[in-house]
Amino acid sequence: MEGRRVTVTVDGETRTGSVTAVEYTRLAGSPVAVVELDEPLADGRAALAVGVDELD
Protein backbone atom coordinates (compact mmCIF):
# COMPACT_ATOMS: atom_id res chain seq x y z
CA MET A 1 0.00 0.00 0.00
CA GLU A 2 2.96 2.34 0.57
CA GLY A 3 3.51 4.61 -2.41
CA ARG A 4 -0.11 4.27 -3.52
CA ARG A 5 -1.76 7.48 -4.76
CA VAL A 6 -4.97 8.21 -2.83
CA THR A 7 -7.71 10.78 -2.43
CA VAL A 8 -8.91 11.87 1.02
CA THR A 9 -11.53 14.35 2.21
CA VAL A 10 -10.31 16.93 4.72
CA ASP A 11 -12.68 19.57 6.09
CA GLY A 12 -15.04 18.92 3.17
CA GLU A 13 -12.31 19.34 0.53
CA THR A 14 -10.90 16.55 -1.62
CA ARG A 15 -7.10 16.26 -1.40
CA THR A 16 -4.65 13.95 -3.13
CA GLY A 17 -1.46 12.46 -1.79
CA SER A 18 0.67 9.35 -1.36
CA VAL A 19 0.60 6.70 1.36
CA THR A 20 3.97 6.79 3.14
CA ALA A 21 3.28 4.21 5.87
CA VAL A 22 0.61 1.94 7.31
CA GLU A 23 0.32 1.50 11.07
CA TYR A 24 -2.21 -0.17 13.34
CA THR A 25 -4.15 1.23 16.30
CA ARG A 26 -3.20 -0.24 19.65
CA LEU A 27 -6.58 -1.34 20.96
CA ALA A 28 -8.50 -2.48 17.90
CA GLY A 29 -5.61 -3.16 15.54
CA SER A 30 -7.32 -1.15 12.81
CA PRO A 31 -5.07 -0.12 9.90
CA VAL A 32 -4.26 3.59 9.59
CA ALA A 33 -2.45 5.08 6.59
CA VAL A 34 -0.09 8.03 6.83
CA VAL A 35 -0.82 10.17 3.76
CA GLU A 36 1.61 12.84 2.59
CA LEU A 37 -0.48 15.48 0.84
CA ASP A 38 0.50 16.96 -2.53
CA GLU A 39 -0.30 20.44 -1.17
CA PRO A 40 -0.26 21.36 2.55
CA LEU A 41 -3.50 22.35 4.25
CA ALA A 42 -4.17 25.97 5.21
CA ASP A 43 -2.97 25.21 8.76
CA GLY A 44 0.37 23.95 7.42
CA ARG A 45 -0.18 20.20 7.86
CA ALA A 46 1.48 18.27 5.06
CA ALA A 47 0.59 14.75 6.24
CA LEU A 48 -2.41 13.07 7.85
CA ALA A 49 -3.24 9.77 9.52
CA VAL A 50 -6.36 8.34 7.88
CA GLY A 51 -8.26 5.11 8.40
CA VAL A 52 -7.54 2.78 5.48
CA ASP A 53 -11.29 2.32 4.92
CA GLU A 54 -11.58 6.11 4.31
CA LEU A 55 -9.17 6.15 1.35
CA ASP A 56 -10.31 6.47 -2.26
- Read off the pLDDT of residues 1-12 as tens digits, 9 standing for 90 and up: 899 999 999 989
The predicted pLDDT at position 56 comes to 83
Task: Please state the rounded mean pLDDT for residues 31-52.
Answer: 95
- Read off the pLDDT of residues 21-40 as tens digits, 9 standing for 90 and up: 999 999 999 999 999 999 99
26: Cα separation from own chain's centroid: 18
Does the pLDDT value for residue 16 go beyond 90?
Answer: yes
The predicted pLDDT at position 21 comes to 97
Q: What are the sequence ranges of the domains in the chain?
A: 5-54
DSSP string, 3-24: T-EEEEEETTEEEEEEEEEEEE
